[in-house]
């Protein structure tokens, strides 16, 4: 999907896609040269590390088109009217003969409006499970790493891609199966559509997901599988609904985790918080949390109360590191930067080396 000579403009940029953009820092073949946001969103002038360069976020979409050959239309946290902002941007890119990739969720009606434009849609993996009356969960023999989040905006995609890149740098054959459909751009797979549709019952989804993972294991024969577990790991209280941890439960029944990472919003927790959440996930999902991380976002309780949904404030890397240092929990690492990722992979190999000979160095 991404070609070697692509110079990519990403639009529209906000906190909903910054984790994906940051992930390119470990994938130098993905060359982002322009980041464009809306003026009213307040991101103009901020800088993001994209592979081997630092790119400033702009609000001038048309000027940005002059310095790229590919336009990547992405999902955003802020709501954006398709007719007013997305369709004109795509048409302008087409008029200027740009290659167009779209990973934004688009309806059939929206796609129909763009029938005359050549667009590469970045979609969830297509896989049709074969569920029969005697279908059973099959054993996945390859070591499995779960990357989970306690809420949204926990930098999960960056952690998934960074772990995968670090393992490959150490000459391990790592396969990434992500909850983000953008993972295909990073050489991975995304969870198939059947997990988000009503064609299958809940128990059939467990069987189907197991079939999908087993299929990829047999096809690629990797040494380790990184799985980004979609949704929140568990309910966040009773006032604000996420998905109540339903998707996480389905994952845990389809394939067992050998190593689990959980990322949470950056707050001043005490050690009892982490110990409590470990007991909860062990009881609900049967997973043992090996590493915790804090994301570059904190919960904004005032906005959450006003919006009636969880809302977040961005925090800088120094604040995340200081918070981790103050908490002082041995399982807590900063997985938003490379040193933390390297330590996590060290711990992963140490744990698996006792029962996974392919990972012994």
First-to-last C-alpha distance (Å) of the chain? 33
d(CA 102, CA 123): 9
- Percent of the chain beyond pLDDT 90? 72
How much is the pLDDT for 356?
45
CATH number at residue 178: 3.40.50.300
d(CA 144, CA 49): 29
Question: pLDDT tens-digit profile of 286-324?
Answer: 999 999 999 999 988 887 777 667 888 999 999 999 999
Same domain, 314 and 350: yes
Total domain count, the chain? 2
- Domain span at residue 104? 8-121
Longest C-alpha distance within the chain, in Å?
A: 59
Tokens of 222: 């990797």
Same domain, 92 and 148: no
Q: pTM score, two decimals?
A: 0.91
CB atoms within 10 A of CB 282: 13
How much is the pLDDT for 358?
44
Those residues of the chain that have pLDDT short of 50 are 355-361
| Strand positions, DSSP E, the chain | 8-11, 32-36, 47-50, 53-58, 70-73, 99-102, 120-121, 144-149, 174-178, 189-190, 224-232, 259-264, 289-294, 297-299, 312-314, 332-333
How much is the pLDDT for 293?
97
CB atoms within 10 A of CB 305: 11
Residue 135 is assigned to a structural domain of this protein: no
How much is the pLDDT for 357?
42
Same domain, 231 and 342: yes
Identify which of 257, 252, 270 has the alpha carbon closest to the alpha carbon of residue 225: 257
Same domain, 20 and 115: yes
Q: Is the dihedral angle over the CA atoms 92, 49, 266, 246 positive or is it negative?
A: positive
Question: pLDDT tens-digit profile of 27-50?
Answer: 988 999 999 999 999 999 999 988
Last residue in a domain, options 121, 152, 178:
121
Same domain, 174 and 284: yes
Last residue in a domain, options 62, 86, 121:
121
Residue 139 is assigned to a structural domain of this protein: no
Same domain, 107 and 200: no
Contacts of residue 219, Cβ cutoff 8 Å, sequence gap at least 6? none
Same domain, 113 and 165: no
Same domain, 52 and 104: yes
Residue 328 is assigned to a structural domain of this protein: yes
């Amino acid at each position: 999907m991404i070609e070697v000579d692509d110079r990519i403009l990403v639009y529209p940029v906000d906190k909903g896609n910054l984790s994906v953009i940051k992930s390119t820092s470990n994938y130098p073949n993905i060359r982002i040269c322009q980041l464009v946001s809306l003026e009213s969103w307040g991101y103009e002038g901020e800088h993001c590390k994209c592979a081997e360069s630092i790119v400033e976020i702009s609000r001038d979409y048309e000027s940005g088109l002059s310095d790229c050959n590919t336009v990547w239309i992405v999902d955003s946290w802020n709501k954006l009217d398709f007719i007013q902002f997305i369709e004109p941007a795509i048409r302008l890119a087409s008029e200027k003969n740009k290659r167009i990739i779209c990973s934004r969720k688009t309806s059939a009606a929206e796609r129909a409006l763009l029938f005359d434009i050549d667009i590469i849609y970045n979609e969830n993996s297509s896989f049709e499970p074969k569920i029969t009356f005697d279908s059973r969960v099959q054993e996945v023999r390859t070591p499995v790493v779960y990357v989970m989040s306690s809420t949204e905006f926990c930098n999960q995609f960056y952690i998934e891609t960074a772990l995968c890149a670090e393992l490959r740098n150490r000459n391990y054959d790592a396969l990434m199966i992500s909850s983000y459909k953008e993972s295909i751009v990073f050489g991975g797979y995304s969870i198939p559509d059947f997990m988000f549709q009503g064609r299958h019952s809940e128990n059939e989804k467990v069987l189907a997901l197991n079939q999908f993972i087993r299929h990829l294991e047999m096809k690629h024969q990797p040494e380790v599988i990184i799985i980004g577990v979609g949704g929140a790991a568990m309910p966040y209280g009773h006032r604000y609904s996420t998905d109540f941890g339903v998707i996480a439960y389905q994952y845990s029944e389809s394939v067992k985790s050998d190593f689990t990472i959980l990322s949470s919003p950056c707050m001043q927790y005490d050690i009892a918080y982490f110990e409590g959440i470990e007991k909860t996930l062990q009881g609900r999902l049967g997973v043992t949390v090996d590493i915790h991380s804090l994301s570059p976002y904190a919960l904004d309780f005032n906005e959450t109360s006003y919006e009636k949904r969880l809302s977040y404030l961005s925090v800088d890397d120094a604040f995340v590191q200081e918070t981790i240092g103050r908490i002082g929990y041995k399982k807590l690492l900063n997985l938003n930067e490379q040193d933390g990722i390297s330590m996590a992979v060290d711990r992963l190999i140490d744990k698996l080396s006792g029962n996974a000979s392919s990972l012994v160095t």
